[in-house]
Structure 1
Amino acid sequence: MLEAECAALQRSSSETAEGRKPVELDQTSIGRLSRQDALQGQAMASALEARRHGRLRAIAAACARIEEEEYGWCEDCGEFIGFPRLDVDPCAVRCVSCAT
């Protein structure tokens, strides 16, 4: 599940790379409001990319915990996180009690 999500995030990142490129100032072909729209779109695409990178880091950390045989155990109390929580978020590092 982690590998599939990682692949999907990487695909999505490459598909949206064009939207994150800097907006060029060309007042002959684009008006002020259109430029503002383009800048806003670029900012939103960049923010989404930052969230993707954060999720990719969480997936890499979860994969490392799997390899170290520490996956599924709460970082705070050491108890098993539980399958229902891991089904919802396979990158979870805390049990429900410690997360709240």
Structure 2
Amino acid sequence: MEEPSDAELAARYRPDLEAEQVALSDQTAQSAEARQVVELDQQAVGRLSRMDALQGQAMQKGLEARRAARHRAISAALERIDAAEFGFCEDCGDFIGHGRLGVDPCVTRCVACAG
């Protein structure tokens, strides 16, 4: 398999990575209110409604943790693009392959080394 140049890899994957990063930031901003502290005012909210609100808050916090992890992975991939290290296995140094990068451009290992 012929290895693409660093410029080809950057042109192919940078726009999608940057777009996903923006989308993640937008989702974080939109869900900020759902992650706020749930008020425990007995008069305003019944016990079951409060439990639902706490469950919703916990789910949003979990989603935010996954978004933050993905954001870090995207930032690392963009740093690898800038350092001309993107698309190559961190273990063996071989080209990861467009098929695998197309599924997740943040991967750092080829199929053989990831297995």
Count how many residue pairs are aligned between Structure 1 and Structure 2.
Answer: 100
Give the superposition deviation at 1:76. Answer: 1.2
Structure 2: distance between partners of 1:22 and 1:94: 40
Give 1:51's match in structure 2, choosing from 66, 85, 89: 66
Structure 2: distance between partners of 1:99 and 1:19: 36
Return 5+ residue gaps in structure 1 as ranges: none
Question: What TM-score results when the alignment is normalised by the length of structure 2?
Answer: 0.85
Give 1:18's match in structure 2, choosing from 20, 33, 47: 33
Q: Find the counterpart in structure 2 of residue 78 from structure 1.
A: 93
Structure 2: distance between partners of 1:98 and 1:19: 40
Return 5+ residue gaps in structure 2 as ranges: 1-15
Structure 1: distance between partners of 2:51 and 2:82: 47
Compare relative contact order (CA 8 Å, sep 6+) and give the higher one, 1 or 2.
Answer: 2
What letter is aligned with 2:36? K
Aligned: 1:40 with 2:55? yes
CA deviation profile, 1:40-93 (whole Å, cap 9, x unmatched): 000000000000000000000001100110000001111110001001101010
Q: Find the counterpart in structure 2 of residue 61 from structure 1.
A: 76
How much identity, in percent, do the aligned residues show? 61
What letter is aligned with 1:83? H
Structure 2: distance between partners of 1:91 and 1:78: 15
Question: What TM-score results when the alignment is normalised by the length of structure 1?
Answer: 0.97
How big is the alpha-carbon RMSD for the aligned residues of Structure 1 and Structure 2?
A: 0.6
> Would you identify which runs of 4 or more consecutive aligned residues in structure 1 move more than 4 Å?
none
